[in-house]
Structure 1
Amino acid sequence: MIQNSADSLIVLDFETTGLSPDMGDRAIEIGAVRLEKGVVVDRFQALMNPGKRVSGFIENYTGITNQMLSKAAPCDEVMEEFANFMGNSNLVAHNASFDKRFLDAELRRIAKTYDGSFACSLLVARRLYQRAPNHKLGSLISYKNIPSLGGFHRALFDSEMTAKLWMAMLEDIAQQTAQVDVPFALIQKLSKTPKKAVSRLLSSITSNERVTPLP
């Protein structure tokens, strides 16, 4: 059963060989955390061997070297494990269109699908924090004064930081809407709302209003 609350889901992040699975790029690392009522209750992290060398740029950007990947399990094996971890949970990623493309592409290779829906913390942040200097994950972590010890561009760390940002956003939404339990459908609706209409949307929500899930 899919959880309808926005504080119970999977937050994930991929590191990859490039920008597009349609151009032959593959995942090289996945990291994810499971939130239940806003608390991290489980983690998943694995390097995965894409079957080809990664560029020097990717090595420098992520710190993931070809030597490290040569010892990693193949993508198919890791994605089988992640599909079991993910189950039918809803999903969140920062710049979710990127991560969803790689998730879909890698799962297609092993004939797996998923029932959960995606939400994008980047799109939500653009609407909630319109005065932020930019909406990169690291910048938003600083903007919201969220403690951060570690390095970005590794999948588990980025997913953990995204989860912290996500919960900060849910708290801000709850304060503005009097929602005790923020629905996932409200977050999806918010992410598609024009920036100038965000205040009107949030002020129109009451604790008794039911938000219809997006298809």
Structure 2
Amino acid sequence: MNEQHRFWQRALRMLSLGVPSEKIFAVPENERHSFQQEVWVRMLLKEQQKKQLDMHMRLEHVPFVIIDTETTGFSPQHGDEIFAIAAAKTNNGDVTDFYSRLIRPEKTIPEHISELTGIRTEDVQSAPRLKDEMDRFLSFIREGMLIGYHIGHDLSFINHFLWTNYRTKWTGRFLEMRQVMEMLHRPLLFPTLDEALSYYNVRCEQRHTADGDVQAMVRLWKCMLNDIKQKQLDTLYDLYTALSVMPR
């Protein structure tokens, strides 16, 4: 399928989503690649909104997608950016597919972040911009339920980017791994990923890298699933119910 055919196919889809035709067909030739990406991202998110996981699905059948990002700071609203992103599709705790990319931010990676992650500005010079990679990332995660440790941080950056560029957000279900961990082992608290990993004696070979942290969280999640089953929490509904009665 050539680029022109793809453009018209996606333009028709965009029309079906209610985008004015004058916006679609007034796009200059040299801007169509960027526009095609916008069409594709919007379509992916629209399709994802229609696919709601059955709350009575057994947990071993739920496609959990473990995600992590590395960022230049803590506030996307103040210009901090993603410079590494990773995700693992899992089924019953086993990895079925893996995604990992370095991302070239607009600004340099601060020295203290490089010291923490081992990733420097020169390491990402040939990496794609997030705008060129977001459609691939969304395609990868769209079928599953997202889970991660302090996942709110990751989603805040993803949603800030999506809103800034496309006036849309990720609206799919997600789980905070820390909350599940503390539900399983109350009254113990696990404010950091390191403490959760230590509880199960899970090693992380490349801590503070997106792919390394995701690989460690995959092993952590498999341990957690075993304990979830021990508590006879069989479905998504059971898990959400257990989380809902936790003290705040």
* Structure 1 and Structure 2 fold alike (TM over 0.5): yes
Q: List alignment gaps of at least 5 residues for structure 1.
A: 197-215
Indicate the structure (1 or 2) with the bigger Cα radius of gyration. 2
Q: Is the 8 A contact 1:79 1:106 kept in 2?
A: no
**Cα deviations by residue, 1:40-76 (Å, 9 ceiling, x for unpaired):** 0100000111111111111111111010122211011
Cα separation, 2, equivalents of 1:99 and 1:124: 17
Q: Which residue of 1 aligns with 2:215?
A: 160
Give me the whole-angstrom Cα distance separating, in 2, the residues matched to 1:157 and 1:191.
27
Map 1:114-125 to 2 at 5 A: 114-125=170-181
Does the 8 Å contact 1:95/1:121 carry over to 2?
yes
1:55 corresponds to: 110
Q: Is the 8 A contact 1:2 1:88 kept in 2?
A: no
- Give how far 1:166 is off: 1.8
Question: Which residue does the alignment assign to 2:196?
Answer: 140
Secondary structure class of the residue paired with 2:67: strand
User: How far, CA to CA, are the matches of 1:95 and 1:189 in structure 2?
Assistant: 20
How far apart are the structure 2 equivalents of 1:16 and 1:117?
23
After TM superposition, give the deviation of residue 184 of structure 1 in Å: 2.8
Q: Deviations for 1:162-181, whole angstroms, at most 9, x for unmatched residues?
A: 1222221221121122x4xx
Q: TM-score, normalised by structure 2?
A: 0.70
Q: Secondary structure at the match of 2:231?
A: helix
Matched, 1:82 2:82: no
1:101 partner SS: helix
Letter in 2 for 1:184: L
Matching residue of 1:12: 67
| Runs of 5+ unmatched residues, structure 2 | 1-50
- Aligned residues of 1:31 and 1:46 also touching (Cα < 8 A): yes
- Structure 2 SS opposite 1:40: strand
**For residue 173 of structure 2, what is the amino acid of its counterpart?**
S
- Out of 66, 74, 79, the residue aligned to residue 24 of structure 1 is 79
Would you tell me which structure has more helix in proportion to its own residues?
A: 2
Letter in 2 for 1:183: T
Q: How many residues align?
A: 192
CA distance, structure 2, for counterparts of residue 99 and residue 128 of structure 1: 23
TM superposition shift of 1:105: 1.6
How far apart, CA to CA, are the structure 1 residues paired with 2:160 and 2:81? 9
Contact 1:62 1:153 in 2 (8 A): yes
Contact 1:80 1:110 in 2 (8 A): no
Conserved 8 A contact 1:76-1:109: no
Measured in 2, the distance between the counterparts of 1:95 and 1:167 equals 18
CA RMSD of aligned residues (A): 2.2
Taking the aligned partners of 1:79 and 1:195, their CA distance within structure 2 comes to 36
Are 1:42 and 2:97 matched, yes or no? yes
Aligned to 1:67, what secondary structure does the other structure show?
Answer: helix
